[in-house]
Protein backbone atom coordinates (compact mmCIF):
# COMPACT_ATOMS: atom_id res chain seq x y z
CA UNK A 1 0.00 0.00 0.00
CA UNK A 2 1.39 3.42 -0.97
CA UNK A 3 2.07 5.95 1.76
CA UNK A 4 0.24 9.24 1.26
CA UNK A 5 2.61 12.19 1.35
CA UNK A 6 1.59 15.30 3.22
CA UNK A 7 3.33 18.59 3.91
CA UNK A 8 4.18 17.27 7.37
CA UNK A 9 6.36 14.61 5.69
CA UNK A 10 8.52 17.24 4.03
CA UNK A 11 10.82 19.77 5.68
CA UNK A 12 9.41 22.79 3.83
CA UNK A 13 10.19 26.12 5.41
CA UNK A 14 7.42 28.64 5.94
CA UNK A 15 9.21 31.53 4.25
CA UNK A 16 8.90 33.48 1.04
CA UNK A 17 12.45 34.75 0.78
CA UNK A 18 16.01 33.68 1.30
CA UNK A 19 18.13 34.08 4.40
CA UNK A 20 18.20 37.57 5.88
CA UNK A 21 21.97 37.55 6.32
CA UNK A 22 22.79 36.08 2.92
CA UNK A 23 25.08 38.14 0.75
CA UNK A 24 26.19 40.44 3.58
CA UNK A 25 29.84 39.45 3.65
CA UNK A 26 31.79 41.69 1.33
CA UNK A 27 28.81 43.95 0.58
CA UNK A 28 25.11 43.49 0.19
CA UNK A 29 23.80 42.02 -3.03
CA UNK A 30 20.39 43.14 -4.27
CA UNK A 31 17.49 40.79 -3.69
CA UNK A 32 17.13 38.28 -6.53
CA UNK A 33 13.72 37.39 -7.93
CA UNK A 34 13.37 33.65 -8.52
CA UNK A 35 10.45 32.82 -10.79
CA UNK A 36 9.11 29.33 -10.08
CA UNK A 37 7.17 27.29 -12.62
CA UNK A 38 4.71 24.46 -12.02
CA UNK A 39 7.29 21.68 -12.32
CA UNK A 40 9.59 23.34 -9.78
CA UNK A 41 6.81 23.72 -7.21
CA UNK A 42 6.00 20.02 -7.57
CA UNK A 43 9.55 18.90 -6.66
CA UNK A 44 8.81 18.47 -2.92
CA UNK A 45 5.90 16.14 -3.62
CA UNK A 46 7.62 14.17 -6.37
CA UNK A 47 11.17 13.92 -5.03
CA UNK A 48 10.95 14.98 -1.35
CA UNK A 49 13.47 17.79 -1.88
CA UNK A 50 13.01 20.94 0.21
CA UNK A 51 13.25 23.53 -2.54
CA UNK A 52 13.38 26.51 -0.18
CA UNK A 53 16.34 25.17 1.81
CA UNK A 54 18.00 24.22 -1.45
CA UNK A 55 17.50 27.75 -2.81
CA UNK A 56 19.11 29.12 0.36
CA UNK A 57 22.08 26.77 -0.11
CA UNK A 58 22.48 27.45 -3.82
CA UNK A 59 22.00 31.21 -3.90
CA UNK A 60 23.58 32.26 -0.59
CA UNK A 61 21.87 35.66 -0.92
CA UNK A 62 18.54 37.27 -0.36
CA UNK A 63 15.89 36.23 -2.88
CA UNK A 64 12.17 36.53 -3.41
CA UNK A 65 10.31 33.53 -4.81
CA UNK A 66 7.54 34.54 -7.20
CA UNK A 67 5.01 32.39 -9.03
CA UNK A 68 3.08 33.51 -12.12
CA UNK A 69 -0.69 33.05 -11.77
CA UNK A 70 -0.83 30.68 -14.79
CA UNK A 71 1.50 28.31 -12.90
CA UNK A 72 -0.86 28.36 -9.91
CA UNK A 73 -3.75 27.63 -12.30
CA UNK A 74 -1.81 24.63 -13.70
CA UNK A 75 -1.24 23.32 -10.17
CA UNK A 76 -4.97 23.60 -9.45
CA UNK A 77 -5.79 21.64 -12.63
CA UNK A 78 -3.27 18.93 -11.71
CA UNK A 79 -4.63 18.77 -8.18
CA UNK A 80 -8.09 18.01 -9.62
CA UNK A 81 -7.25 15.93 -12.68
CA UNK A 82 -3.74 14.50 -12.34
CA UNK A 83 -2.86 10.97 -11.36
CA UNK A 84 -2.51 10.25 -7.63
CA UNK A 85 1.15 11.25 -7.47
CA UNK A 86 0.55 14.47 -9.43
CA UNK A 87 -2.40 15.41 -7.20
CA UNK A 88 -0.26 15.12 -4.05
CA UNK A 89 2.65 17.03 -5.62
CA UNK A 90 0.31 19.74 -6.94
CA UNK A 91 -1.28 20.11 -3.51
CA UNK A 92 2.16 20.64 -1.93
CA UNK A 93 3.08 23.05 -4.73
CA UNK A 94 -0.06 25.05 -3.99
CA UNK A 95 0.90 25.20 -0.30
CA UNK A 96 4.24 26.72 -1.27
CA UNK A 97 2.63 29.10 -3.78
CA UNK A 98 0.31 30.25 -1.01
CA UNK A 99 3.33 31.45 1.01
CA UNK A 100 5.07 33.42 -1.73
CA UNK A 101 4.22 36.25 -4.11
CA UNK A 102 1.87 35.31 -6.95
CA UNK A 103 2.24 37.70 -9.88
CA UNK A 104 -0.51 38.41 -12.38
CA UNK A 105 0.25 37.21 -15.89
CA UNK A 106 -1.75 36.11 -18.91
CA UNK A 107 -1.38 33.21 -21.29
CA UNK A 108 0.29 29.83 -20.84
CA UNK A 109 2.64 29.55 -17.86
CA UNK A 110 5.81 29.11 -19.96
CA UNK A 111 5.06 32.21 -22.03
CA UNK A 112 4.26 34.23 -18.89
CA UNK A 113 7.57 33.12 -17.34
CA UNK A 114 9.52 34.09 -20.46
CA UNK A 115 7.86 37.51 -20.47
CA UNK A 116 8.49 38.17 -16.77
CA UNK A 117 12.07 36.85 -16.94
CA UNK A 118 12.77 38.97 -20.01
CA UNK A 119 12.54 42.06 -17.79
CA UNK A 120 15.82 41.01 -16.15
CA UNK A 121 17.24 40.77 -12.62
CA UNK A 122 15.95 37.27 -12.01
CA UNK A 123 16.51 33.56 -12.33
CA UNK A 124 13.90 30.97 -13.28
CA UNK A 125 13.41 27.73 -11.36
CA UNK A 126 12.10 24.87 -13.52
CA UNK A 127 12.55 21.19 -14.34
CA UNK A 128 10.99 21.65 -17.80
CA UNK A 129 13.77 20.90 -20.34
CA UNK A 130 12.10 22.84 -23.17
CA UNK A 131 11.57 25.96 -21.03
CA UNK A 132 15.09 25.63 -19.65
CA UNK A 133 16.55 25.61 -23.18
CA UNK A 134 14.51 28.68 -24.21
CA UNK A 135 15.62 30.57 -21.11
CA UNK A 136 19.30 29.70 -21.62
CA UNK A 137 19.06 30.89 -25.26
CA UNK A 138 18.01 34.26 -23.82
CA UNK A 139 20.82 34.29 -21.27
CA UNK A 140 18.49 33.92 -18.28
CA UNK A 141 19.92 31.91 -15.34
CA UNK A 142 18.02 28.67 -14.69
CA UNK A 143 17.73 26.77 -11.42
CA UNK A 144 16.89 23.10 -11.89
CA UNK A 145 16.77 19.77 -10.06
CA UNK A 146 19.92 17.70 -10.47
CA UNK A 147 20.05 13.95 -9.82
CA UNK A 148 16.62 14.17 -8.15
CA UNK A 149 18.39 15.26 -4.98
CA UNK A 150 19.52 18.89 -5.10
CA UNK A 151 19.25 22.13 -7.02
CA UNK A 152 21.86 23.40 -9.46
CA UNK A 153 22.08 26.45 -11.72
CA UNK A 154 22.90 27.14 -15.36
CA UNK A 155 24.15 30.67 -15.96
CA UNK A 156 25.29 33.34 -13.57
CA UNK A 157 23.52 35.79 -11.33
CA UNK A 158 25.03 39.10 -10.31
**Domains of the chain with bracketed CATH:** 38-154 (3.40.50.1010)
- What per-residue confidence (pLDDT) applies to 26? 44
Average pLDDT, the chain: 87
Q: What SS3 string covers the chain?
A: CCCCCCHHHCCCCCCCECCCCCCCCCCCCCCEEEEECHHHHCHHHHHCCCHHHHHHHHHCCCEEEEEEHHHHHHHHHHHHHCCHHHHHHHHHHHHHHCCCEEECCCCCHHHHHHHHHCCCCEEEECCCHHHHHHHHHCCCCEEEEECCCEEEEECCCC
- Say yes or no to pLDDT of 2 above 80: no
- Please state, for a pLDDT cut of 90, what percent of the chain lies above it: 75
Q: Give the pLDDT of residue 156.
A: 83
pLDDT tens column, 22-81:
433 345 788 999 999 999 999 999 999 999 999 999 998 999 999 999 999 999 999 999
Of 110 and 12, the one with more pLDDT: 110
So what's the pLDDT on residue 25?
Answer: 38
Residue 122: the pLDDT is: 95
State the average pLDDT over residues 115-126. 93
pLDDT greater than 90 at residue 19: no
Amino acid sequence: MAHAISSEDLPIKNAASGPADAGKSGGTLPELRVIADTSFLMIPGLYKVDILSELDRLLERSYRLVVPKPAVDELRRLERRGDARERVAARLGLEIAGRVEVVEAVGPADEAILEIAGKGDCAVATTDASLRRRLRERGIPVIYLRQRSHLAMDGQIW
